[in-house]
Amino acid sequence: MLGKTANGLFWLFRYLERAENTARLIETGQRIALTRLGDSASEWRSVLQSAGVWPAFEAAKGEVTKEAAINWLLRDRGNSSSVYSCICAARQNARLVRTALTGDMWEAINSAYMNAQENLGRQVAERDLPGCLRTLRQNTSLVRGMTHGTMLRGERYDFARLGTFLERADNTARILDVKYYVLLPSARAVGSALDNVQWETILRSVAARGGFRMEYGADSGPRDITHFLILDQRLPRSLAFCAAQLQENLRSLNAGNAHPSDAMKKLDFINRKYLAHEVDAIFDYGLHEYITEIIALLADLAQEIEREYRFYE
């Protein structure tokens, strides 16, 4: 398979994942704004930070308002990570690697794009926002489902999955990076109303609120949330889950070679140094440093994959 095709598949799935995660961040932000439990401007600022677009937003728009934040995250083409920009970029990559996709996958991506053009091509009224985000989530889910159901399990599939899980791990890590302070043990064991809202925000951002309550009980606190998002192998958005998937796909790509690939070695390092501990060890190490380091290592792993599989040269 062409290096260019690997690159296109990798980014197609990164962008789809990013679109979906950003959509979820918007939903969470909107929910907090509506329940009026937090300080809206600072919440939107942290949503923009979690999405990794704060510096660009500040430079382009300056003042944080709900409308400005939602518009920037949702549909501004000046923001290359806005939901709309991501869908356009995903579709552009899909065109580039059209021969590596099944017809079903291509149609799902193309219709996601056509719906986005229609829904996000113009200003979205507040009352239309929930429906608009729901359509988007369903559209990206359809792409995932078609991929799961129709794509040959081989090299191409591996690159698609690598893109998905690198992006997802990065997104989860960023949410933790922005909110780490509300999870520190120095916060009270039984949270204030404000703490509870913050915890809830984190769980909603990774679509894990229900599962968490079910598994960890009503009295669970920040320590459990941290464990859940980082180390719980059952949560499809936890760092440990993403790392396990990455490992599987890197192994599959390396099948037939006697030695592990450089990317495998890098992932192995992340696994051993960061994901093989108890949650208390993470707090001892320093949650913020821990997360910052993981984000950097994930970026480094992505670069290694690009190099090793000749994405560009």
Partner 1 sequence: MSSDPFFDEMWGTSQSLRDPYATFHQWFDAEDPARLRAKQREAEDLFRLTGITFNVYGRAEAEERLIPFDIIPRILSGNEWYKLSRGIEQRVRAINAFLHDIYHKQEIVKAGRLPAEMIARNEAFLPHMIGVEPPGGVYTHIVGIDVVRTGPGDFFVLEDNARTPSGVSYMLENRETMLQMFPELFSRNRVQPVQNYPTNLRRSLAACAPEITKDAPVVAVLTPGIYNSAYFEHAFLADQMGVELVEGNDLRVVDGRVAMRTTRGYTPIDVLYRRVDDDFLDPLNFNPDSQLGVAGIMDVYRAGGITIANAPGTGIADDKAIYSYMPDIVEFYTGEQPLLPNVPTWRCSDADDLAYVREHLAELVVKEVHGSGGYGMLVGPAASKKEIADFAKKLDAKPSNYIAQPTLSLSTVPTFTAKGLSPRHVDLRPFVLVNPDGIQITPGGLTRVALKKGSLVVNSSQGGGTKDTWVLED
* Least Å from the CB of residue 18 to partner 1: 19
Binding region for partner 1 (CB under 8 A) out of 25-33, 90-98, 179-187, 198-206: 90-98
User: Beta-carbon neighbour count of residue 130 at 10 Å?
Assistant: 12
Angle between helices 129-150 and 66-74 (to 10 degrees): 20
Q: Check residue 307 for interaction with partner 1 (CB under 8 A).
A: no
| Interface residue with partner 1, options 95, 273, 277, 288 (CB under 8 A) | 95
Q: Check residue 11 for interaction with partner 1 (CB under 8 A).
A: no
When the beta carbons of 92 and 220 are compared against partner 1, the nearer one is 92
Q: Check residue 88 for interaction with partner 1 (CB under 8 A).
A: yes
Q: Check residue 92 for interaction with partner 1 (CB under 8 A).
A: yes
Query: For residue 111, what are its two tokens?
Result: 């219709």
| Interface residue with partner 1, options 104, 107, 195, 262 (CB under 8 A) | 107
Q: How far apart are CA 135 and CA 129, in angstroms?
A: 10
Q: What is the DSSP letter of 219?
A: T
When the beta carbons of 104 and 215 are compared against partner 1, the nearer one is 104
The set of residues, in sequence order, having a beta carbon less than 8 Å from that of 24 and lying 6+ positions away, is: 137, 204, 205, 206, 207
Size of the site for partner 1 (CB under 8 A): 24
* Least Å from the CB of residue 88 to partner 1: 7
Query: For residue 63, what are its two tokens?
Result: 């003042």
The set of residues, in sequence order, having a beta carbon less than 8 Å from that of 195 and lying 6+ positions away, is: 182, 187, 188, 222
| Interface residue with partner 1, options 35, 42, 65, 99 (CB under 8 A) | 99
Q: Check residue 252 for interaction with partner 1 (CB under 8 A).
A: no
Planar angle of CA 34, 37, 219, nearest 5 degrees: 115
Q: Check residue 262 for interaction with partner 1 (CB under 8 A).
A: no
User: Beta-carbon neighbour count of residue 34 at 10 Å?
Assistant: 11
Name the residue among 21, 143, 135, 7 with its Cα closest to residue 82.
21
* Least Å from the CB of residue 251 to partner 1: 15
Q: How far apart are CA 179 and CA 206, in angstroms?
A: 13
Binding region for partner 1 (CB under 8 A) out of 13-21, 98-106, 198-206, 277-285: 98-106
Q: Which residues bind partner 1 (CB under 8 A)?
A: 1-6, 88, 92, 95-96, 98-99, 103, 106-107, 110-111, 114, 117, 155, 253, 309-310, 313
